[in-house]
Structure 1
Amino acid sequence: MFRRALLVAVSMGVATLAGVAALTGGKPASALAQDPLEGVTAVLDKYIDAGELAGAVSLVYHRGEVQVSARGVQDLETGTPMARDTIFGLASMTKPITAVAVMMLVEEGKLDLDAPVDPWLPELAEPKVLSDPNGPLDQVYDAPRAVTPRDLLRYTMGLGFPEWAGIASEAPIAQEFAAMRRGDFTADEYMERLGALPLAFAPGERWVYHTPSMVAGVLIERASGMGLAEFFRTRIFEPLGMPDTGFWVPAAKRHRLASYYRGGEQPGTLVPVADNGTRYAAPPKFPSAGGGLVSTVDDYLRFGRMLLGRGELDGVRILSAASVDEMLTDQLPEEPERRFFLFEDFWRGAGFGLGLQITTEQSEGGPSVGSFWWHGATGVQWTADPQQDLIFLRFIQRGDVPRGFGAEYMQALYSAIRP
C-alpha cells in the first residue's frame, strides 16, 4: 500500500478549470496559466473515466493564487459529486501536525528535544534492546541511551512497524505488533503494552516507521495536560482557521465524507473497504497521532502555508522560524542499512527531518530541492515547494494508487509551473 508512488509521487463531477476562479472567490489565476493546468485535470479525468478512481480534488497554491479542481464523485453508490469541501481521511498526513505540536511544547520549555522522555513516558524508561530483531524477546541488552522527543519525530526510537524495517513477519516482535494492531486500547493501555516490549533497535540506530508518532501523541497529552484532540483544536486548528480538521466527523458534516476504496480484481473496478456509516462517526478512545485525522484540501493548505511561511500564517505564529528550519533539516542516518524503509532506494533523492520528508536532489519534472511533505495511505498527498512558492494537494480516496497516476499528475503540474 505504501508504495513510493503513494508516498512520494510516494500516494463536483464536471467542474472545469475555467470555473475554478469561482471556487476561489473570483480571484484571477495570474500565477498559474489556465491552459497548462488543464493537463492536471486531464490526468484526473483519465483515471476517473477509466474507473480507476471514484473522484479527486486537486488544489494548487502558487505565489498567492489558488486553483481547485474537483472531479468525479465522493461516493459511487450515492453518486454524490466530489466537491472542494469534501472531507478525506488524512492517514499519515496526520504525522506532520503531530510533529508541529511536539515542537510547540519544546519551544514552551515543557519538552527538551534531546532529553529523555522518561518523566512523561515512564513506560519507556531504561529500555531493553533485542540482541537480534528477529530473535527471541528475552534475548536483550540494556539500551545505550534513553528515547528522546527527537527520536519520536525522526522515527529512531527503536520500535515501529517491523515488516517495513526488514524484520520477518514470523519474528516474535512482529507477532507482538500484529496483536497490538488488533487491540482496542486507551492511551495508557497502549503505552503499558508497548513498554513491556523490548526495542527492536537501540534508540537512534535505525529509522522505523509509525509507532513513534503514536507515542508522540501520548507525550503531547501528558506534557501539555490536555487531550490530543483538544490540543490540536485549540493550539493549531482554530488559530490557523482549519474548521473541518479533527479526529471525527460530526453528523452535520457526514454527507461530505468521501468513501474509501481499493482496486477490484478487474481493471477499472473499485471495491469499498470501509463503512462510511461508522468511519469517524464518534470521537476515538485513543486518537491516533500517526493517522487519525480528517480534513479538506483548504484546511490542510492553511497548515502547509504556515510551514511554508516558516511558522507563521496571516499574522498568526504557531512555531518559530528556527523550529521549522529544524524540522526541515535532514536527519536520516547516512548508512543505507540504518535508513531502510520498504525497499532499498526509497530515500533516493530525499531525506527526512522531524515529521517531514525533504527533497535533497531534484528529479526531472518533480519538486525542487528543499520541498517537503509526508503523504497518507488513503491516497491523500501534499507537497510544499519553497523555491516555487508552491503547495499542491491531491486528494483521492484509494490507497492502492493506480499505477502511473502519481507520476502523470506530478508531470502535468510541474509542466505548468516550469513551462
Structure 2
Amino acid sequence: MVLVEDLVTLNAQVQQDNAHDGRRNDSRNTQEGNFSMKEPKQVAGLAPDRLCNINDHLDRQYIRPGKLPGALTLVARRGEIAYVNAQGLMDVERNKPVRRDTVFRIYSMTKPITSIAMMQLYEQGRFLLDDPVHKYIPAWKNQRVYKSGVYPNFLTTSATSAMTIRDLFTHMSGLTYGFMNRTNVDAAYRELKLDGSRNLTLEALVSQLAELPLEFSPGTAWNYSVSTDVLGYLVQLLADKPFDEYLQEHIFEPLGMSDTGFQVRDDQLDRFAACYQFQPGDQFTLQDDPQTSPFRHKSKFVSGGGGLVSTIDDYFHFAQALCQGGEFRGRRIIGRKTLEFMRRNHLPGNQDLPGLSVGAFSETHYAGSGFGLGFSVKTDVAKSQINGSVGEYGWGGLASTNFFIDPVEELVVIFMTQLIPSSTYPIRQELRAIINGALV
C-alpha cells in the first residue's frame, strides 16, 4: 500500500523535476502553444493565472495528500493548446514522474473512437441506425429478456422490440457489464468473463451474448454495457478487416496517433504508467504493474469498449478533430453533419440519463445530460449543476481519465491519471469549474 507520507516526499521532488523537464522540453511545448506558468498574456481567450488553479487544486487536494499518484492535464481552445501540466508520479514504485508522453490506459475513452469508426461506415451506406442488429448477427434474432433465476437456469420472456444499431450506440440495448454487480444477468457476464478477458474474441463475445437474456427490452431503458464492444465487432464485419487494423488505417494513421493501440510496444515501456486501485482511507495499491501488465502482450480480445492505451497528445489529435467538425491538420475522419448528428441527444423524448438509467456507473452527476451516438451530451446546464455549455460532449475511462469538448467555446479538455475506479473522487466536475472559470 502506498502511504501518504511517502508520496508527500516523492511528489515534492517530482514537482521540481517536472519543472526542470518542462524547461528542457520547452521548444516542443512552445510550438504547440503550451501554457507557461509565468506568461501573463491570454492564450486562446483563457486567463493563465486562472489556469494555474488546475495545478494548485490537483497538487493541494490530490497529489500531495497521496490520493492520486499523478496527473496530466491538457486544455486547448480554438485549436491552440493553452495549458499542459504534468504532476506527481506515473510509477510510484519506481519513482518515475508523469511526463507529457506518458502512455495511459484510457479504457472507456476507447468508446468514442469506436463510435467514430462505425459512423465512418454509416457514411459509406453500410448500415442504417434503425437496422435490427440481427440483420448482421442472425443468432440475435429472437432475443429474450430476464425474468428470474440464476445462470444457467434463467426464466425469460420475449423482448417487446428488436435491438437496433442505434440501441448499441446509446447503451439502450438491454446488454450490461459484469462489473455492474447489480443483477443475476451481470453475474452471468462475470462467470463467463465477458467484460474483457484477454482470451475472449469478438466472435466469441457475440456468440455468448446470443445465449444470455437481456436486462430489458431494447429501447426502453439505459444501462452502461458491452454495447460498444459489439459495435467493434460490427466494424470488423462491415469493413471485412480486423478491428484493430481498421482503427489504425482510418483513425490513428490519419491523425498521427502513433502511441495509440491495443498493446504497449517495447519502445513505449519506459513511458507506460502504473495503474492503481483505490483503498479506504484515501490510499491506493498497485493494480497493474507496467512491466508485467497484460497490455504488454497482444490480446485476442480487441475491445472497442475499453481496450486502448494512448497519450495525451494522441488523444488531443482525436478530440481536436471532433472539435473542428471532423478534421485535424487537413485530415478528415468524419463528416461535419455526421458529427453534429452524433452529438445530439438520442435518448427518447430528449430525456436525460437519470430518467432512463437502471444503474449507477460513475461519480458524475448526469442530471441534465443525455446520450448521443458514443458520448454523453449536456442538455441542461442548470439541471446538471456543473458549469459548461449546452451541447458539451465527451466521456471518461475506468482509471479516472476523462475528456470533454465544448463546441460553443471551441474548448477541448483532457485529463489523464491511473486510479480505479473513476467514481473515487469528483475531479471531473472540479476541473470543469476551474477551466470554465478561466474563459475570458
Alpha-carbon distance, 1:94 to partner = 0.6
State the distance in 1 between where 2:73 and 2:355 align.
36
Which amino acid in structure 2 is aligned with residue 262 of structure 1?
Q
> Aligned runs of 1:119-268 on 2, under 5 Å?
119-131=135-147, 138-161=154-177, 164=180, 168-169=182-183, 171=184, 173-181=185-193, 184-267=199-282
- 2:87 equivalent to 1:52: no
Question: Following TM superposition, by how much is the alpha carbon of 1:189 offset from its aligned partner in structure 2, in angstroms?
Answer: 1.8
Distance 2:165 2:260 in 1: 25
The structure 2 residue matched to 1:103, chosen from 119, 126, 145, is: 119
Normalising by structure 2, report the TM-score: 0.84
Distance 1:362 1:338, change over 3 A: closer
Partner of 1:412: 434
Which one has more relative contact order, counting CA pairs under 8 Å at least 6 apart? 1
Contact 1:74 1:81 in 2 (8 A): yes
How far does the alpha carbon of each residue in 1:171-193 deviate from its partner, in whole angstroms, 9 at most, with x for none? 3x233112122753222222211
Match 1:271 to one of 273, 277, 285: 285
- 286 and 24 in structure 1: CA distance in 2 versus 1, 3 angstrom threshold: same
**Matched residue, 1:87:** 103
Unaligned runs of 5+ in 1: 1-11
**Residue by residue, what CA displacement relative to the aligned partner does 1:24-69 show, whole Å, maximum 9, x if unpaired?**
2344753233222111111222121111111110111112321210
Q: Percent identity?
A: 32
> 2:359 is matched with which residue?
341
Unaligned runs of 5+ in 2: 1-13, 36-42
| 1:50 partner SS | coil
- Following the alignment from structure 1 to structure 2, what is the Cα–Cα distance between the partners of residues 78 and 126? 53
CA distance in 2 between partners of 1:214 and 1:360 (Å): 26
* TM-score with structure 1 setting the length: 0.88
RMSD across aligned C-alpha pairs, in angstroms? 2.7
User: Using the alignment, how far apart are the partners of 1:189 and 1:53 within structure 2?
Assistant: 37
C-alpha contact 2:149 2:155 (8 A) present in aligned 1: no
Deviation larger for 64-73 or 340-349: 340-349
Sort the Cα spacing of 1:346 and 1:55 in 2 relative to 1 into closer, same or farther, 3 A: closer
Within 1, Cα distance between the matches of 2:113 and 2:225? Answer: 14
What is the alpha-carbon distance in structure 2 between the residues aligned to residue 188 and residue 343 of structure 1?
26
What letter is aligned with 2:330? G
CA deviation map 1:187-220 (0-9, x unaligned): 2222211111122211211212121111111111
Q: Which amino acid aligns with 1:231?
A: Y
Alpha-carbon contact 1:90-1:295 (below 8 Å) kept: yes
AA aligned opposite 2:378: T
Deviations along 1:201-245, one digit per CA (max 9) or x if unpaired, are 112112121211111111111111111110111011101111111
Give the Cα separation in 2 of the matches to 1:28 and 1:411.
21
Which residue pairs with 2:369 in the alignment?
350
Aligned length: 402
Paired AA for residue 341 in structure 1: G
Structure 1 residues 404 and 224: CA distance shift in structure 2, 3 A: closer
2: CA distance, partners of 1:158 / 1:263: 30
1:365 CA displacement:
5.9
